[in-house]
């Protein structure tokens, strides 16, 4: 009955009697009934209170909790004091479940009696200190409801909340993230200042002198460093992007949007695109948010353009939203594909959607001037469409477009005038009339004729059209009064007796204005000016433009109006408030901590698995500890938990800021100094090191991997680090370490290796991907002789490649033969960057052949070759037999004659053959050369003029460190690093494989994150291709 | 947060309501009905409706509208996600989420809603916990209950609620220790008129079902044969997976939940890796000024490594002007619904020797202009024992167990949103 919405209140006493029933199901149902009707029958409801009070003392936590739930759900004002008492008691209950319910009860009590606020805040404060993940979500919810402005309560719990966040249940996560977003906005300085100023400053480029700029830049760079707590929040929310709960993902996305530096916010887009796979409703909300985001920062979603392509089965609202986003993302580069896509949409059966598409085309046309004409032509074609709505919409859009550039479109206007006979949709008719009136001077013959026609049908037109007819008449009267005087008079007369007062008013107004008579002499002089004034072109804007002042992901944003209870996101503070407020009070927290420790001990086996997020904290400030941490994480030791607890309790009594951050910052410093020293040392005696490395590697390859790990943390000499560093990054580092060290023949590579070690030891967590050094060739170093060894170990060797690609420069693997087209035989190739395996002019290529079928594949060899003139190829030895799931790596040499032409050949098996081809990137046609800076300059001096190509590029700000530049450049092309005396100039040298001509690359960093890229070479063609390839490498983020 | 919930069927009857705070009158739903009328199609009802005092957030699942009433600001996805979770739970409990099922089990539904939400804030949404609190109905249990007088409601607090692994009950015992892992991959693609791929990506998920009586950790190294971890574009995990291990070693380490669950889902979007396993030859044309048109569609397999393409079904939303269709199918059977204008062709298995073909004449409404756009074809298919992205589960390690498990992983490739424009 309750479910049906009928009133069952007359049964109240009979039902409430059952509250003491032993049967839990009945009891629960009585609870349901009570909650529904207690408000109406307060007196009778009081009868049941004593039962609940008894239940509150029950040993079973479930009963305690549910009693509290029901008690607080009965909305009877008289029992407020009882509830208050119960909540206070429950908030210190042993069971976190009961405490959670207490947090819920707070909200209920507050809505019943707001006067209790002060008392409730005390309880909230107490519960906020609770360390149980169960409670966190609920209490923050209560906080948001009762006292969202009491930010001071959060300070002390901020770090704890951040760290617990991952383990809180998903609903709680949403609430906490939203709260923390608001909190962070008030507490931290804007990370955007940096970007904003840089942008602004590139705009000002022309006006300011260089000196000024430099000063300004420096100032900004120095003043802004992100608060470690701010960083903590960003880092801890990042994993939640992977959550299965759409609401959590959205919450994190909005947090990144509102809080993260602009360069980092991009990571959320991938996850948001993922959400588009889920239900219609989720799609709707997510698309709305993406639409807002895509207006401000196009770049975020550009890579995912195709995910927004419309399917014919999508509901209309989704279609229009996708269209909106596509329009927002349109730019010069992708407009042609987009327009092709739009063409399909225009034909859609869903006319509403087709009309929206036309508008979208219109917006693209105004935004991107290159395609305006194409769009216009396309729209004109649409005018002959059979569907009226489509035609009408295109007329309206054309009108807007013509207005923006009316220069030479008389033809279109004529065409549209002809259309007037057929179109019946009022808006479109009105638009045409307006156009003709506005540009009546361009079509002097047609305009009066149109007026004549419309005057005939005046009485049957829509109000909108009538107004435009009047306008047209007035304009014509002014420009061409000879022909149209009578016609206009006639129209005005018709208007005078029209039913609509709007039209009568307009008629009177126009008549007074244009028809000269004695009274209105003054105004009629200006009539022409008034009517034929230049009108500003309308701006075609996204309807989502004005939504950005609402916080993303909120109800208000969806509705585009303030919802009740919406809390404005405050602007960034100018100066960060004192960060020390977040430091935990030592004595107090220590007490709490120990108290909690006792509790968690019980749950320990379960909690252990989730403590990872906090592990870093445990690894305290010294580097030695972080070494321990590495070892631990690798061996997966179960003592992590203990370690963590000790570590963090140490830290809370000792240091004022959390260990994690200080270790980060410290390691930053150390890292850089270590780098410097090791580099200078290594450069001088790189030859020496090379020899040693060879010796050591042999020794190492025999020692066990655990040995290696311990030595890696202890030994400090540069050369051993270069070895063990590369080893400790993979569990099976044994075999790889051996291979890599054997093959590390180039001194350049050796010099880089120590850096890697430093980085690795100090900063396992965050900096690995960023600072990994350059030239340690990974899979690339597997030489043919080694591949033979590895054949037996094909599985383990492949996993080695896997691991190493993660931590060092990934070798780009290209596909030679897809397993689908190869009937189960798959082949991939990469360039091993080695000289001289097959003679001087050959580029060596490693081909990995994999058998994905269930049978053996026999006799794999190279068949017919189709090579361009001059190219030669050194074939690999035929593979006799490839087991199922096995894979073999073979190497072959190709002489590409220093051109990027494809080498096509046939890959044959016993009973089949497949056509494949290898196309070398230009960077692989080079061999690194070592030379000194002096030699470099000398050679460069000889290769000027014709032989020099250069370009200025914008370098992404994070790319401006030396290491990164070297890494990126060497990754893109096989160049050797030339030691450079200046910090801002980086030089690379190489020679082409076939002809041996020198290729000199110079990267000179300038201010305002631009760089000059110069390539000197005899082979100008290759030089310019290389230049083109290097450009994006440096400018990408 | 969530104030009330109304369940409304397709004909507009409110057949269930539940309030978590004070009672909101049914009349609030009038706004919803208004929007529903305006939208014509049920698919087009806006999920968020604003009324003078409340906000209505609704979802549409299995011919039922779940309409929730909100009074204050709340992230709309929060509510939508929760409503879907409610629908999932009903599905889980009653096998289907239909009006009759809900009406038959109204007591359980009420108890469930009561447990799932407290004062509008989600309390227990994990189905394992709920199942322990409120046992799902079975025939046997209802017989036993009516004799012994015991109830469906558990009287102890489920331990999962307290622990940090809410997805697992404690003390579960099974006679067989089993864990099944299925790799399901769906191909989403848009193929244009000329047969070239406009957009293609693979959505993969690992569905696992485990009946294990002990807490143990699994390691599931997912090694693509390319050894290219970047292949997986975007991954989303069940909360049981330890994220750190994945980040550092690309290994999925987890304590499996009890019962069926979705372990991970991922996306492979680099287009050249997505091999489209079928091709469609189509010839659809409508003649000008005559009330008929031609329809000719052939489906054939493309690169599929010797695996057969099964369960092929093609659905086409024909233009409104189509009255009827006279077709002959060389294989399978077809139906055309003249009301919704949906053509369904159930092909079944494709044999490469004899390609299935559907050919015939389309009758158009006389006098109506010819439809200017050909309808797009939506195709479904299944390929057993093949993961189209080439992803493989290399091995499964178990910790805390001595015996060696027998390994077998089921792969299946399906068509997701697979659309051919004509």
Could you read off the pLDDT of A520-565 as tens digits, one per residue? Answer: 556 666 666 777 666 666 666 666 666 667 777 777 777 777 766 6
What is the per-residue pLDDT for B214? 57
Name the residue with higher pLDDT: A282 or A627.
A282
Chain A residue closest in CA terms to B320: A349
Q: Which of B74, B154, B223 sits opposite A799 (nearest CB)?
A: B223
- Residue B96: count of CB within 10 angstroms of its CB: 12
Provide the token pair at A927.
């061999």
- The verdict on A10 and A134 lying in the same domain is yes
Say whether pLDDT at A665 is over 50.
no
Q: Which CATH number fits the domain that encloses residue A1015?
A: 3.30.310.10
Chain B residue closest in CA terms to A823: B305
- The verdict on A864 and A999 lying in the same domain is no
Q: Which CATH superfamily is domain B278-384 in?
A: Mu homology domain, subdomain B (2.60.40.1170)
- The verdict on A899 and A994 lying in the same domain is no
Distance (Å, rounded) from C-alpha B83 to C-alpha B245?
32
Distance (Å, rounded) from C-alpha A658 to C-alpha A651?
7
Which of B16, B74, B106, B119 is the best residue to mutate to test the A interface, defined by the most A CB atoms within 10 Å of its own CB?
B119
What is the per-residue pLDDT for A129? 82
**Beta carbons of B23 and A821 less than 8 Å apart:** no
Q: Which of A36, A609, A810 sits opposite B19 (nearest CB)?
A: A36
Say whether pLDDT at A693 is over 80.
no
Distance (Å, rounded) from C-alpha B334 to C-alpha B350?
15
Q: Is A600 buried (19+), middle (13-18) or exposed (0-12) by CB count in 10 A?
A: middle
Residue A597: inside a domain: no
Say whether pLDDT at A657 is over 60.
no
**Beta carbons of A104 and B121 less than 8 Å apart:** yes
| Shortest alpha-carbon distance between residue B309 and chain A (Å) | 14
**Beta carbons of B164 and A798 less than 8 Å apart:** no
Name the residue with higher pLDDT: A278 or A408.
A278
CA distances to A370, A1033, B320 from B339, rounded to whole Å, are 46, 57, 9
Segment A759-792, tens digit of pLDDT: 333 333 333 333 333 333 433 343 444 444 434 3
Q: Which of A5, A166, A803 sits opposite B14 (nearest CB)?
A: A5
pLDDT band at A1 (very low <50, low <70, confident <90, very high): low
- The verdict on A137 and A13 lying in the same domain is yes
Q: Which of A24, A270, A285 sits opposite B47 (nearest CB)?
A: A285
- The verdict on A913 and A976 lying in the same domain is no
Provide the token pair at B396.
């499964």
Q: Which residues of B touch A270 (CB under 8 A)?
A: 233-234
Which of B6, B67, B77 is the best residue to mutate to test the A interface, defined by the most A CB atoms within 10 Å of its own CB?
B77
What is the per-residue pLDDT for A593? 38
User: Of A127, A147, A167, which one is at a domain's C-terminal end?
Assistant: A147
Are the beta carbons of A19 and A48 closer than 8 angstroms?
yes
**Beta carbons of B77 and A250 less than 8 Å apart:** yes
Provide the token pair at A901.
């032409």
Strands B117-118, B121-122: pairing is: antiparallel
- The verdict on A846 and A902 lying in the same domain is yes
**Beta carbons of B227 and A605 less than 8 Å apart:** no
Q: Which of A107, A316, A824 sits opposite B44 (nearest CB)?
A: A316
Say whether pLDDT at B289 is over 80.
no
Q: Which of A24, A385, A615 sits opposite B151 (nearest CB)?
A: A24
| Shortest alpha-carbon distance between residue A388 and chain B (Å) | 12
- The verdict on A989 and A860 lying in the same domain is no
Chain A residue closest in CA terms to B277: A820
Domains B177-274+386-420 and B278-384 share a fold: yes
Say whether pLDDT at B25 is over 50.
yes
Q: Give, in words, the CATH class of B2-123.
A: alpha beta
Segment A790-819, tens digit of pLDDT: 343 333 333 333 333 333 445 677 777 777
Q: Which residues of A touch B104 (CB under 8 A)?
A: none
Distance (Å, rounded) from C-alpha B420 to C-alpha B422?
6
Q: Which residues of A touch B77 (CB under 8 A)?
A: 246-247, 250, 282, 285-286, 553
CA distances to A150, A234, A245, A269, A554 from A551, rounded to whole Å, are 20, 17, 20, 17, 6
What is the topology classification, in CATH, of domain B177-274+386-420?
A: Immunoglobulin-like (2.60.40)
What is the per-residue pLDDT for A406? 60
Which of A1, A2, A3 is the best residue to mutate to test the B interface, defined by the most B CB atoms within 10 Å of its own CB?
A3
| Shortest alpha-carbon distance between residue B29 and chain A (Å) | 13
Distance (Å, rounded) from C-alpha A423 to C-alpha A924?
62
Chain B residue closest in CA terms to A110: B119
| Shortest alpha-carbon distance between residue B153 and chain A (Å) | 6
Say whether pLDDT at A633 is over 60.
no
User: How many residues can be counted in chain A?
Assistant: 1037
- The verdict on A10 and A136 lying in the same domain is yes
Segment A45-58, tens digit of pLDDT: 777 777 778 878 87
Chain A residue closest in CA terms to B113: A32
Segment B220-253, tens digit of pLDDT: 655 443 334 556 667 777 777 777 777 777 777 7
User: Of A121, A147, A173, which one is at a domain's C-terminal end?
Assistant: A147
Across-strand partners of A879?
Answer: A860
Q: Which residues of A touch B198 (CB under 8 A)?
A: 306, 309, 341
Residue A452: inside a domain: no
Segment B38-70, tens digit of pLDDT: 877 777 788 888 888 888 888 888 888 899 988
Q: Which residues of A touch B17 (CB under 8 A)?
A: 3-5
What is the per-residue pLDDT for A578? 67
CA distances to A863, A894, B276 from A916, rounded to whole Å, are 11, 14, 20
Mean pLDDT of A649-655: 41
Lowest-pLDDT choice from A245-254, A563-572, B294-303: A563-572
User: How many percent of chain A have pLDDT more than 90?
Assistant: 0
Q: Which long-range contacts (CB under 8 A, 24 or more apart) does A645-654 make?
A: A645/A597, A645/A618, A646/A618, A647/A617, A647/A618, A647/A619, A647/A620, A648/A614, A648/A617, A648/A618, A649/A590, A649/A593, A650/A620, A651/A617, A651/A620, A652/A584, A652/A586, A652/A589, A652/A590, A652/A593, A653/A586, A653/A590
ipTM: 0.84
Torsion of CA A154, A160, A161, A164, to 10 degrees: -170
What is the per-residue pLDDT for A498? 80
Q: Which long-range contacts (CB under 8 A, 24 or more apart) does A51-57 make?
A: A51/A19, A51/A20, A53/A82, A53/A86, A56/A86, A56/A89, A56/A90
Are the beta carbons of B41 and B121 closer than 8 angstroms?
no
φ/ψ of A57, rounded to 5, equals: -100, 5
| Shortest alpha-carbon distance between residue A248 and chain B (Å) | 8
pLDDT band at A688 (very low <50, low <70, confident <90, very high): very low
Q: Tell the residue number behind the tokens 């802004």, with chain if given.
A: A224
Q: Which residues of B touch A566 (CB under 8 A)?
A: 73
What is the per-residue pLDDT for A217? 43
Chain A residue closest in CA terms to B373: A347
Its domain, for residue A983, covers 924-1035
Q: Which of A23, A31, A564 sits opposite B71 (nearest CB)?
A: A564
What is the per-residue pLDDT for A17? 66
Q: Which of A8-17, A488-497, A653-662, B262-271 has the highest mean pLDDT?
A: A488-497
Chain A residue closest in CA terms to B201: A307
Distance (Å, rounded) from C-alpha A718 to C-alpha A682?
8
Residue A1027: inside a domain: yes
- The verdict on A863 and A967 lying in the same domain is no
| Shortest alpha-carbon distance between residue B343 and chain A (Å) | 14
Residue A588: inside a domain: no
What is the per-residue pLDDT for A56? 80
SS3 category, A886: coil
Q: Helices A351-367 and A316-329: crossing angle, nearest 10°?
A: 10
**Beta carbons of A347 and B78 less than 8 Å apart:** no
Between chain A and chain B, the number of residue pairs with CB atoms below 8 A apart is 289
Provide the token pair at A125.
């404060």
The domain total for chain A is: 3
Are the beta carbons of A474 and A530 closer than 8 angstroms?
no
Mean pLDDT of A205-220: 42
CA distances to A265, A290, A304, A326, B352 from A298, rounded to whole Å, are 12, 10, 11, 10, 46
Name the residue with higher pLDDT: A679 or B187.
B187
Q: Which residues of B touch A108 (CB under 8 A)?
A: 21, 119
- The verdict on A897 and A996 lying in the same domain is no
What is the per-residue pLDDT for A863? 77
Closest CA to B153 of A17, A135, A21, A169: A21
Q: Where are the domains of chain B?
A: 2-123, 177-274+386-420, 278-384
Provide the token pair at A218.
């420096």
Lowest-pLDDT choice from A737-751, A886-900, A982-996: A737-751
User: How many percent of chain A have pLDDT more than 70?
Assistant: 64
Please enumerate in sequence order all residues whose Cβ is within 8 A of that of A110, keeping only pairs 6 or more positions apart, or say none: A116, A117, A120, A142, A145, A146
Closest CA to A273 of A230, A307, A322: A307
Lowest-pLDDT choice from A215-229, A628-642, B65-79: A628-642
Sign of the C-alpha dihedral, residues A705, A710, A715, A716?
positive
Distance (Å, rounded) from C-alpha A918 to C-alpha A111?
71
Q: Which of A284, A311, A610 sits opposite B417 (nearest CB)?
A: A311
Please enumerate in sequence order all residues whose Cβ is within 8 A of that of B285, keeping only pairs 6 or more positions apart, or say none: B293, B294, B374
Q: Which residues of B touch A97 (CB under 8 A)?
A: 157, 161-162
Q: Which residues of B touch A246 (CB under 8 A)?
A: 77, 80-81
Say whether pLDDT at A198 is over 70.
no
**Beta carbons of B319 and A349 less than 8 Å apart:** yes
Q: 0.80 cut: is pTM over it?
A: no
pLDDT band at B271 (very low <50, low <70, confident <90, very high): low
Chain B residue closest in CA terms to A29: B111
Q: Which residues of A touch B75 (CB under 8 A)?
A: 174, 178, 247, 250-251, 553-555
User: Of A119, A147, A175, which one is at a domain's C-terminal end?
Assistant: A147
What is the per-residue pLDDT for B167? 59
**Beta carbons of B198 and A62 less than 8 Å apart:** no
pLDDT band at A598 (very low <50, low <70, confident <90, very high): very low
SS3 category, B80: helix
| Shortest alpha-carbon distance between residue B213 and chain A (Å) | 15
Q: Which of A271-280, A339-348, A595-604, B78-87 has the highest mean pLDDT?
A: B78-87
**Beta carbons of B229 and A316 less than 8 Å apart:** no
- The verdict on A893 and A1020 lying in the same domain is no
**Which uninterrupted H or E stretch holds A15?**
helix A12-16
- The verdict on A128 and A11 lying in the same domain is yes
Q: What is the mean pLDDT of chain B?
A: 77
Q: Which of A23, A97, A243 sits opposite B236 (nearest CB)?
A: A243
Segment B155-175, tens digit of pLDDT: 454 544 555 555 555 555 656
Q: What is the mean pLDDT of chain A?
A: 68
Phi-psi region of B341 (alpha: psi -120 to 50; beta: other; left: phi over 0): left
What is the per-residue pLDDT for B213? 59
The separation between CA A572 and the C-alpha centre of its own chain, rounded to angstroms, equals 22
pLDDT band at A424 (very low <50, low <70, confident <90, very high): confident
């Amino acid at each position: 009955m309750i479910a049906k919405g009928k009133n069952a209140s007359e049964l109240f006493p009979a039902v409430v009697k059952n509250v003491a029933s032993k049967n839990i199901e009945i009891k629960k149902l009585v609870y349901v009934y009570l909650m529904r009707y207690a408000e109406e029958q307060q007196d009778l409801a009081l009868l049941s209170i004593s039962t609940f009070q008894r239940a509150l003392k029950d040993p079973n936590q479930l009963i305690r909790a549910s009693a509290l739930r029901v008690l607080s759900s009965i909305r009877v004002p008289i029992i407020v004091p009882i509830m208050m008492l119960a909540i206070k008691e429950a908030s210190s209950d042993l069971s976190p479940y009961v405490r959670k319910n207490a947090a819920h009860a707070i909200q209920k009590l507050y809505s019943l009696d707001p006067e209790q606020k002060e008392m409730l805040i005390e309880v909230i404060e107490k519960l906020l200190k609770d360390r149980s993940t169960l409670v966190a979500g609920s209490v923050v919810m209560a906080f948001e409801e009762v006292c969202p402005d009491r930010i001071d309560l959060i300070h002390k719990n901020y770090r704890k909340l951040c760290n617990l966040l991952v383990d809180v249940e998903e609903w709680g996560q949403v609430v906490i993230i939203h709260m923390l977003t608001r909190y962070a906005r008030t507490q931290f300085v804007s990370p955007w200042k940096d970007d904003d100023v840089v942008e602004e400053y590139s705009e000002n480029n022309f006006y300011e002198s260089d000196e000024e700029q430099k000063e300004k830049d420096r100032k900004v760079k120095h003043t802004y460093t992100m608060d470690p707590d701010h960083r903590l929040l960003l880092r801890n929310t990042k994993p939640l992007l992977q959550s299965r709960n759409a609401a959590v993902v959205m919450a994190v996305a909005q947090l990144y949007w509102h809080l993260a530096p602009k360069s980092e916010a991009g990571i959320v887009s991938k996850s948001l695109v993922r959400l588009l796979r889920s239900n219609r409703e989720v799609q709707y909300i997510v698309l709305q948010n993406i639409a807002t985001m895509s207006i401000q920062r196009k770049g975020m979603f550009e890579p995912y353009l195709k995910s927004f392509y419309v399917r014919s089965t999508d509901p209309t609202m989704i279609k229009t939203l996708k269209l909106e986003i596509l329009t927002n993302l349109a730019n010069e580069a992708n407009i042609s594909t987009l327009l092709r896509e739009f063409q399909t949409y225009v034909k859609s059966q869903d006319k509403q959607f087709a009309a929206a598409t036309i508008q979208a085309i219109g917006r693209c046309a105004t935004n991107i001037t290159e395609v305006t004409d194409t769009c216009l032509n396309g729209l004109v074609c649409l005018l002959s469409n059979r569907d009226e709505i489509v035609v009408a919409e295109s007329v309206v859009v054309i009108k807007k477009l013509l207005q923006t550039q009316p220069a030479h479109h008389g033809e279109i206007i004529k065409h549209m005038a002809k259309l007037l006979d057929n179109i019946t949709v009022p808006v479109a008719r009105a638009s045409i009339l307006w156009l003709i009136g506005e540009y009546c001077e361009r079509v002097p013959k047609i305009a009066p004729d149109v007026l004549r026609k419309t005057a005939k049908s005046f009485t049957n037109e829509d109000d909108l059209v009538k107004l435009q007819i009047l306008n047209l008449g007035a304009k014509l009267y002014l420009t061409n009064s000879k022909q149209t005087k009578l016609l206009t008079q006639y129209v005005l007369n018709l208007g005078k007796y029209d039913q609509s007062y709007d039209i009568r008013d307009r008629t009177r107004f126009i008549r007074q204005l244009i028809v000269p008579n004695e009274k209105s002499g003054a105004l009629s002089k200006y009539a022409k000016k008034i009517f034929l004034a230049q009108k500003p072109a309308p701006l075609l804007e996204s309807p989502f433009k004005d939504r950005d002042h609402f916080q993303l992901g909120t109800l208000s944003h969806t509705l585009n109006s303030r919802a009740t209870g919406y809390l404005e996101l405050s602007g960034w503070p100018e100066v960060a408030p004192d960060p020390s407020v977040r430091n935990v009070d030592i004595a107090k927290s220590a007490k709490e901590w120990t108290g909690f420790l006792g509790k968690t001990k019980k749950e320990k086996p379960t909690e252990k698995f989730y403590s990872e997020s906090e592990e870093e904290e445990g690894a305290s400030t010294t580097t030695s500890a972080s070494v321990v941490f590495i070892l631990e994480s690798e061996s997966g030791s179960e003592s992590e938990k203990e370690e963590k607890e000790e570590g963090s309790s140490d830290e809370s009594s000792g240091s004022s800021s959390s260990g994690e951050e200080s270790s980060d910052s410290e390691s930053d410093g150390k890292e850089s100094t270590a780098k410097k020293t090791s580099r200078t040392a290594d450069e001088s005696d790189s030859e020496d090191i090379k020899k040693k490395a060879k010796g050591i590697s042999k020794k190492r390859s025999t020692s066990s991997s655990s040995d290696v790990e311990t030595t890696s943390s202890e030994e400090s000499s540069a050369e051993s680090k270069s070895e063990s560093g590369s080893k400790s990054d993979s569990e099976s580092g044994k075999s790889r370490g051996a291979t890599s060290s054997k093959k590390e023949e180039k001194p350049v590579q050796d010099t880089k290796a120590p850096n890697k070690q430093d980085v690795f030891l100090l900063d396992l967590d965050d900096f690995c991907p960023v600072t990994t050094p350059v030239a340690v060739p990974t899979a690339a170093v597997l030489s043919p002789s080694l591949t033979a060894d590895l054949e037996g170990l094909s599985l383990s060797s492949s996993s080695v490649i896997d691991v190493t690609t993660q931590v060092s420069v990934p070798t780009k693997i290209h596909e030679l033969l897809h397993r689908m087209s190869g009937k189960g035989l798959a082949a991939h190739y990469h360039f091993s960057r080695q000289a001289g395996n097959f003679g001087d002019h050959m580029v060596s290529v490693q081909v990995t052949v994999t058998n994905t079928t269930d049978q053996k594949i026999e006799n794999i060899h190279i068949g017919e070759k189709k090579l361009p003139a001059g190219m030669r190829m050194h074939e690999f030895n035929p593979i006799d037999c490839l087991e199922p799931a096995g894979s073999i790596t073979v190497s072959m040499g190709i002489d590409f004659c220093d051109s990027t032409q494809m080498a096509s050949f046939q890959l044959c098996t016993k009973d089949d053959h497949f056509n494949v081809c290898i196309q070398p990137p230009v960077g692989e046609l080079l061999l690194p050369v070592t030379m000194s800076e002096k030699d470099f300059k000398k050679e460069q001096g000889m290769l000027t003029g014709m032989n020099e190509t250069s370009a200025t590029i914008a370098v992404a700000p994070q790319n401006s460190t030396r290491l990164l530049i070297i890494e990126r450049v060497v990754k893109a092309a096989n160049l050797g690093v030339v030691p450079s005396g200046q910090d801002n100039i980086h030089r690379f040298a190489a020679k082409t494989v076939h002809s041996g001509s020198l290729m000199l690359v110079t990267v000179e960093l300038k201010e305002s994150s631009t760089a000059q890229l110069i390539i000197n070479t005899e082979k100008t063609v290759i030089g310019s291709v290389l230049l083109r390839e290097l450009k994006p490498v440096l400018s990408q983020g | 947060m969530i104030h009330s919930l109304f369940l409304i069927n397709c004909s507009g009857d409110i057949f269930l309501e539940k309030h978590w705070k004070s009672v909101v009158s049914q009349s609030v739903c009038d706004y919803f009905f208004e929007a529903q009328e305006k939208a014509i199609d049920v698919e087009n009802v806006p999920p968020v409706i604003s009324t003078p005092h409340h906000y209505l957030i609704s979802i549409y699942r299995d011919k039922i509208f779940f309409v929730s009433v909100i009074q204050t600001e709340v992230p709309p996805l929060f509510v939508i996600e929760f409503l879907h979770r409610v629908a999932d739970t009903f599905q889980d409990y009653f096998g289907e989420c239909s009006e009759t099922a809900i009406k038959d089990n109204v007591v359980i539904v009420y108890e469930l809603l009561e447990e799932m939400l407290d004062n509008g804030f989600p309390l227990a949404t994990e189905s394992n916990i709920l199942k322990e609190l409120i046992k799902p109905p079975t025939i046997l249990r209802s017989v036993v209950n009516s004799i012994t007088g015991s109830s469906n409601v558990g009287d102890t607090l489920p331990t999962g609620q307290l622990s940090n692994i809410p997805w697992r009950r404690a003390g579960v015992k099974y006679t067989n220790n089993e864990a099944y892992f299925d790799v399901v991959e769906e191909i989403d693609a848009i193929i244009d008129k000329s047969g070239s791929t406009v957009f293609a990506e693979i959505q993969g998920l690992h569905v696992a079902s485990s009946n294990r009586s002990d807490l143990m950790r699994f390691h599931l190294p997912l090694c693509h044969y390319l050894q290219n971890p970047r292949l997986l574009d975007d991954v989303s995990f069940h909360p049981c997976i330890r994220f750190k291990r994945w980040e550092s070693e690309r290994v999925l380490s987890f304590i499996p939940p009890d019962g069926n669950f979705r372990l991970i889902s991922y996306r492979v979007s680099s287009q050249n890796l997505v091999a489209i396993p079928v091709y469609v030859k189509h010839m659809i044309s409508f003649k000008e000024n005559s009330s008929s048109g031609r329809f000719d569609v052939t489906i054939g397999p493309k690169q599929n490594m010797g695996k057969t393409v099964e369960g092929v079904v093609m659905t086409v939303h024909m233009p409104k002007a189509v009255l009827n269709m006279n077709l002959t199918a060389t294989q399978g059977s077809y139906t055309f619904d003249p009301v919704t204008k949906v053509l369904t062709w159930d092909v079944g298995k494709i044999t490469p020797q004899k390609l299935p073909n559907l050919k015939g004449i389309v009758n158009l409404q006389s006098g109506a202009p010819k439809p200017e756009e050909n309808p797009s074809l939506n195709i479904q298919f299944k390929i057993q024992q093949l993961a189209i992205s080439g992803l493989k589960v290399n091995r499964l390690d178990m910790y805390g167990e001595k015996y060696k498990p027998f390994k077998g992983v089921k792969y299946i490739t399906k068509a997701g949103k697979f659309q051919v424009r004509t």
